Amino acid sequence: MKIRMIVWKIIASGKPADTNIDTIRKILILNALLLPGLLFSLTFGIHALIMGNTVLGMADISVFLFQLWLYLFMRNADNLEMPISLAVNALLLFFLVIASQGGTENSAVLWILLFPTAAVFLMGTRKGLTLSLVMLLGVLAVFSLGGKVFVQAIYTGTFKIRVIAVYSVVTLLAVIAEELRGRIHDNLVRSNKEKEQAIEKLNRSIEEIKTLQGIIPICLHCKKIRDDEGFWQAVEEYVQYRTEAQFSHALCPDCAKEFYPEFVEEPATYK
């Protein structure tokens, strides 16, 4: 149990377990990128420097330091909007840099396939999709500038098509998954709200029922009812105040005969 608590504090950036579920979701996604990224960026950076690729090595080491700072910053941040925005934009730039350098056997560009999922899940459909399209345009620029300017990597035509195709599919799947998650979340919120309203209405009905239980003092002659504060009210006032019932006035046959005999037709008698 103690180990589980330590692991939770690490992957949840020290946030308590009762933190808002959407906040925890974003923290876990971000740390799923940061924590392995700390190990990989440091390892790849050292390897690149040893192999003589100074640009890629410095890029990896810079990302390692940035990720470490971002993880520590997120532990104390009350609002995740800023660290998430920094992380996603830094990820975009980093992936473009390593794509332009190629890495071992030009495989570094494959890291861009992670970007749409991270961007859409962390920043929402609109912003995430926009940044994913920016990344795609950046990769297309890298592909077209192969061997020129600061772009060292040269990719084959077939490889370019495959990367773009897979990237597009991943982007589409990420958008669909986020849209479904959003709709499920909205439905749950609406369902919980309706449930709360139903419970409130039920509690109110129970209170009204309790109000009309027990011994009710009623006048022997005028039929007024005495309330809890000692005031006398007509029966209809007493009931309407405590329930949702409404009264309409009419005459029963007996009262009609007694008070308005001239308007009551006597039934015909036959001999």
Which tokens belong to 71?
């993880």
Q: How much is the pLDDT for 161? A: 93
Q: How much is the pLDDT for 177? A: 92
The answer to whether 14 and 75 have CB atoms below 8 angstroms apart is yes
Place of tokens 């992670």: 114
Distances in Å between the alpha carbon of 258 and those of 234, 251, 265?
A: 22, 11, 13
Q: How much is the pLDDT for 107? A: 85
Which phi and psi angles does 150 have, rounded to 5°? -95, 5
Percent composition of the chain: helix, strand, coil (DSSP 3-state, to 5): 70, 0, 25
- Cβ neighbours, 10 Å, residue 264: 13
Distances in Å between the alpha carbon of 31 and those of 19, 58, 72, 256?
A: 16, 22, 11, 82
Q: How much is the pLDDT for 210? A: 62
End-to-end CA distance of the chain: 98
Measured distance CA(183)–CA(142) in Å, rounded: 37
Predicted TM-score of the model (pTM): 0.62
Q: How much is the pLDDT for 151? A: 79
The answer to whether 112 and 139 have CB atoms below 8 angstroms apart is yes
β-bridge partners, 226: 232
Q: How much is the pLDDT for 271? A: 47
β-bridge partners, 225: 218, 233
Measured distance CA(160)–CA(162) in Å, rounded: 5
Q: How much is the pLDDT for 129? A: 93
Q: Going residue by residue through the chain (271 aa), what tens digit of pLDDT does each one get?
A: 577 777 777 777 777 767 777 778 888 888 887 788 788 888 888 888 888 888 778 878 888 888 888 888 877 777 778 888 888 888 898 888 888 888 778 888 888 998 999 899 988 899 999 999 999 999 999 998 887 877 778 888 899 999 999 999 999 999 999 999 888 888 888 888 889 888 988 887 777 666 566 677 888 878 888 877 888 888 888 777 777 677 777 888 888 787 777 776 665 555 4
Q: How much is the pLDDT for 120? A: 93
The answer to whether 88 and 135 have CB atoms below 8 angstroms apart is no
Q: How much is the pLDDT for 263? A: 72
Q: How much is the pLDDT for 214? A: 66
- Segments making up each domain of the chain, as ranges: 2-192, 209-271
Measured distance CA(72)–CA(162) in Å, rounded: 37
The answer to whether 120 and 178 have CB atoms below 8 angstroms apart is yes
Q: How much is the pLDDT for 246? A: 77
